[in-house]
Chain A
């Protein structure tokens, strides 16, 4: 890890009686692309595609291939969404460019009965759990078929059949709820763990504190997956925390933690599996810091911040998808044509979904007043009828 330099300091971490706070070189969470080379960071897949035998979780090749395709699909989807947003065909999109291994590896490692509580950048996890593209696109457009009934902005999906909790917006709110959910399962002696995703930014939230504190006290079977992607919108990690790492925050709550190369699909799977096994044994929660990098913009609204360009080239060399491909190529033939086929299939699926979604009407006026409560009370009935008695707004 890099340490903030101070020309007056006696040396890293040195604190003497006469050292003032400004002279002291504090540990810093500042990131660079070599951070994953630290000794404590779990690694399996080298950039040339070879495996470290001592850490290899021995995933069946068919699963690795399936995950590779899933990673490629979600990246392809992100690229298309960015284009569609520029064309004005969708309002907003949160991509996960560069973080595909961190997200898909961890989601894969959970068992079928386990639940996922996403933050907002983990579309790959929902897709891996079987969320249909159509459902995603209906939610994107907020049409009458949208499960959220056009109430949310894009990328606010849930997928109950796949045990994926719906996305909020308040950073970190899902953390405390994931803990309550897992804790309830433990109380009921249910063999269930919960994967709670969040970014480096959310670790500053009171929800992170509340959630991890409760998880530590009650040994809730939660796998906390912190996607340390280097940025919270425009805020770099060294401005997010005075801690040297995000993993070490677990110490404060009595929660064991581990750092993993977040761009190493197999390493992410390994540490997540280990965490699930700990949870299943009744040993409680684990904090995983998946070290990755946000290769794209924070979301489709924000222009690419110049700051985010720093170090991008170095991180491109650590691209998670390319690394898995090199691994696959060592086992079976794989060419650009294979990749292209996956991209073409995704494009076709997306086009079909958009075709249907764009020809689906808006949600009804009545639906705006439903689900506030289980049954609309008198005041909502009155407000609904009052709205229906005046002219409609034009299309926006």
Chain B
């Protein structure tokens, strides 16, 4: 199997699906001729033409609104929002329309699109090129949110997202677009939405994470192991609907849990995960569930590595929870 980075894996998924299904259409800013500012759609314009890989005006609201219309017509649109920080002009179309189309029409008019967008910090992007807005979408009924941590999952999850009947926000952790490498099957395969993966088996404490921070958790787990703490690392892969069974099974095994995410602490997905663990596995807990997250500040530029929940900041909480 060939080695690919995440950009190549996503590109591979898009190419495969566009060949397989003539209804698939890609649209967004700079996705066509230039192949995307991160080159994720590179080569697709040349192969499929400007009828299927479309450079749009600078208008996130227009991109998503038009994509919804295309979906209603019967196409399978995969709009790209260049940075998730710029998704907000499209927020009304996403939460008022896309999320509710099936429900409000009694199932007669499902509006299915996959919105691809880079998320997360680590590229010295500052306030407006580093955000992780998953909570703002999970909190709206009707949207699925997916965030792969590695190239193989990225390809499989994207194919699954495109073929899923519901609207999906496909978050691509830009920090590891090129850094994450691995073997990727060249064929057609999917990774199921709603299923987490155990990235590292362990007995003493569970870490729940996703995206770029998964690698920081693995690093922290390695360092913890040197101190006699054996951490299990759970890669959520789908942020919503999340794999509650996997989380509960792991917490029942270890009795201790740390959730790690880049997004700000308050009303972050970590809070929801902790609440669910309390509801379903309270009697199995040996320590209060903990969170290591971004702060309730806009994402900083110079102090980015203080803001991000990197391994050096995860480790103390991990050890504390393990030793509680």
Contacts and interface: CB of A to CB of B under 8 A. Distances in A.
Interface of A: 146-149, 151-152, 156, 158, 160, 165-166, 168-170, 173, 175-185, 187-188, 206-207, 210-211, 213-214, 217, 370-374, 377-379
Contacts of A374: 102, 110, 165-166
A373 B106 contact: no
A176 B93 contact: yes
Contacts of B61: 176, 206-207, 210
A176 B69 contact: yes
A180 B105 contact: no
7 contacts: A147-B105, A177-B72, A180-B68, A182-B69, A184-B75, A371-B107, A372-B142
Given A187-B25, A214-B56, A378-B244, A371 B65 contact: no
Interface string B228-272: 000000000000010011000000000000000000000000000
A211 B65 contact: yes
B69 A148 contact: no
Nearest to B64: A176
Contacts of A210: 59, 61-62, 65-66
B57 A168 contact: no
Interface in B40-78: 51, 56-57, 59, 61-62, 65-75, 77
Contacts, number: 132
Interface string B80-116: 0000000001001100110001111111111000000
B62 A214 contact: yes
A70 B189 CA distance: 54
Given A206-B61, A374-B166, A377-B241, A183 B66 contact: yes
A151 B68 contact: no
B144 interface: yes
Contacts of B67: 180
B70 A170 contact: no
Interface of B: 25, 51, 56-57, 59, 61-62, 65-75, 77, 89, 92-93, 96-97, 101-110, 141-142, 144, 165-166, 194, 241, 244-245
Contact of A165 (B71, B74, B109): B109
A120 to B, nearest CB: 13
Contact of B108 (A166, A188, A207): A166
Contact of B106 (A147, A170, A180, A377): A147
B107 A370 contact: yes
Nearest to A166: B105
B65 A179 contact: yes
A177 B68 contact: yes
B97 A166 contact: no
Contacts of A206: 61, 89
Give the interface centre of B96, B106, B141, B142 by most chain A CB atoms within 10 Å.
Answer: B106
Given A165-B109, A372-B142, A373-B142, A180 B104 contact: no
A168 B106 contact: no
B144 to A, nearest CB: 7
B69 A183 contact: yes
B93 A173 contact: yes
A152 B108 CA distance: 14
Nearest to A213: B57
Nearest to B60: A210
Closest 7 CB pairs of A and B: A180-B69, A176-B65, A180-B66, A210-B62, A377-B241, A184-B73, A181-B69
Contacts of B74: 184
A305 B86 CA distance: 40
Nearest to A169: B96
B108 A160 contact: yes
A370 B67 CA distance: 24
Contacts of B244: 378-379
Nearest to B194: A377
A148 B67 CA distance: 23
B241 A176 contact: no
